[in-house]
Chain A
Amino acid sequence: MNVIVCVKQIPDPETPAAAFKVDEAAMQVLPAQGISPVISPFDAQAVEAALRIKDSSGDGTVNIISLGPDSARDAIKHSLAMGADEGYHLNDDAFEGGDAWTTALALSKAIQHLGVPDVLIFGRQAADWDQGTVGSIVAELLDLPSATVLRAVELSGDRITVSRVVADGFENIDLPTPCVLTISNEFGDPRYPQLRQIMQAARKQVTELSAADLGLDASEVGAAGARVQMHALFQPTSDVEVEIIEGDTPEEKAAGLVNALREAKIL
């Protein structure tokens, strides 16, 4: 089975809330001091899913595509260190300021350029914009069946069976190949690269592709091609003032809380 995983590099979502800052005028999140960007956690799980498919099928390749600035190479290298075979970096100033649509358009062209694999895997959403649409847009553009928000993926013969997380449980879905899958956090932890693998990945060549390499005009991608426009970016504020219930014993605190809830007519 040949698999392509599309990954994105994002500001570390574990950044402490106090270090998270927004430049409202530029509508950008400011990089937190001393905290490096990371591969989006759902995307690392997508790479893990791909590696398990390759392992259970006994042959094939896992290739990585990422669209982003120069630093996005690190997310590709991380995926290679996890065990992926080849990396492709869609790196072009023309991609800047794009949205989910322009990203998906460029990714779909890159996938066609490399050859549509048996399985295409994405994280359920990038943990920066939290839209969760790129995998489905690519599926639609390539006219492929898709299953989203998955906690389990298994190879069964030449088909794929998956477990989809829904509000009241899980759905089992059977897909032919080629197909598009998106992986949710319930999938479980991805493998962590060992030092030796990191060293090997560092030496691997990552192929750079521009908009022109993909047959895309600059007017179709980036800010020029975007279908969604942002008007503001800001940090929400909480206007709640907490009242800490004091007491010498847990019993006093519990009684104090129940009283406070009664006085506030919440209980």
Chain B
Amino acid sequence: MASILVFGETDDSGLTAPTLELLGAASRLSADIGGGVALALIGSGLADAAAAAGPAGADSVYTADADSLAGYQTDSFLPVAQGIVEQDSPSVILMSQSSIGRDLAPRLATRLGTAAIMDALGLEVDGGRVKATRSCYGGNARQVVTVQTDPQVITVRPKSQDPIEADASRSAELIAVDVAEPTLRARTTGKEQAESEGIRLEDAEIVVSGGRGLGGPEAFADLESLAGVLTAAVGSSRAACDLGWYPPSQQVGLTGTVVSPTLYVAIAISGASQHMAGCGGSKNIIAINKDPDAPIFSFSRFGIVDDYKKVLPALEAAFAAALD
């Protein structure tokens, strides 16, 4: 019996970065709550990922490994997740605030007779319960909340927690879970992969982002050019995505991707709270905006007050010379 059950996610490289972060958070919480840390993996071809669970902080790892579980579907994952929870009886369940966690956590919590707190930024133990700090009002406010029923289900924002140092000498007890053939009501019939060349937003060390102030979709070609010089990924504010200037997959913000690069270059972005919710964890933000009162400057380490159209070519040349 574990005290904290982490629902992990996998990709080609094994456990995803947010999963390693969840295991880090779970290890720290379990020091205060007691009990162990279990990882649950639901999917197909999980052997390599399961082997990484011990070194990343799990004491045990449940694997529900079946062809029918390749790719998340609410109706196939939900009963499997429920089965693992009933077997493990955790006091806390952690998931990533990902496409999967957003969908699975509230349904699973309801099925278990409890509730979910979504998108936690900070976690601490107080009186045996997990106090979660989360963003609300589009990033304008923070609230501290607890789930008063058991188990406490919490989704955690990617990049908000640190993983633990991997310890190759540790191993986790492997528990294979039987998987029944799912009854699918909603059925995924296909997937459109976003066209993204180059670096994934969430992995990039440098992100160059544009907003509504760019004035049109053409300007993103200039951002891509600058990003090429900086080996950066290109992001967009929600306003620019909603206007159809750039694909939704590149949206940085509360309802898009959360990034925390070393350098975030915000070009013609005003700095609305819901955008800052997606990039506020960046180590350094630099802003280029012609409005000296734009809120983005209050989050930035360096700023240039000018028309981006004039600054961008000069900046690209200066970066190219500096990095040559």
Contacts and interface: CB of A to CB of B under 8 A. Distances in A.
A99 B115 contact: yes
Contacts of A146: 74, 103, 107, 186
Contacts, number: 245
Contacts of B48: none
A137 B106 contact: yes
Contacts of A164: 99
A258 B265 CA distance: 12
Interface of B: 74-75, 98-99, 102-103, 105-107, 109-111, 114-119, 131, 134-149, 185-194, 196, 202, 238, 241-242, 248-249, 254-255, 257, 262-263, 273-274, 283-287, 292, 295, 297-306, 310-311, 313-315, 317-319, 322-323
A130 B119 contact: yes
Nearest to A151: B248
A262 interface: yes
A171 interface: yes
Nearest to B239: A185
Contact of A258 (B111, B119, B322): B322
Contacts of A57: none
A250 B311 contact: yes
Interface string A161-183: 10111111111111110010000
Interface stretch (A64-72, A191-199, A214-222, A223-231): A223-231
B117 A136 contact: no
A33 B181 CA distance: 57
A232 B124 CA distance: 14
Contacts of B284: 261, 264, 266
A216 to B, nearest CB: 17
A198 to B, nearest CB: 25
Contacts of B285: 240
A218 B322 CA distance: 67
Contact of B304 (A140, A229, A238, A244): A244
A20 B303 CA distance: 25
Interface in A149-165: 149, 151, 161, 163-165
Contacts of A127: 137-138
B70 to A, nearest CB: 13
A17 B273 CA distance: 8
Contacts of A167: 98-99, 202, 249, 257
B13 to A, nearest CB: 14
A178 B107 CA distance: 17
Nearest to B113: A227
Contact of A133 (B116, B185, B262, B304): B116
Contact of B190 (A124, A171, A175, A250): A171
Contact of B318 (A133, A231, A254): A254
A170 B195 CA distance: 11
B185 A175 contact: yes
Nearest to A180: B186
A2 B221 CA distance: 45
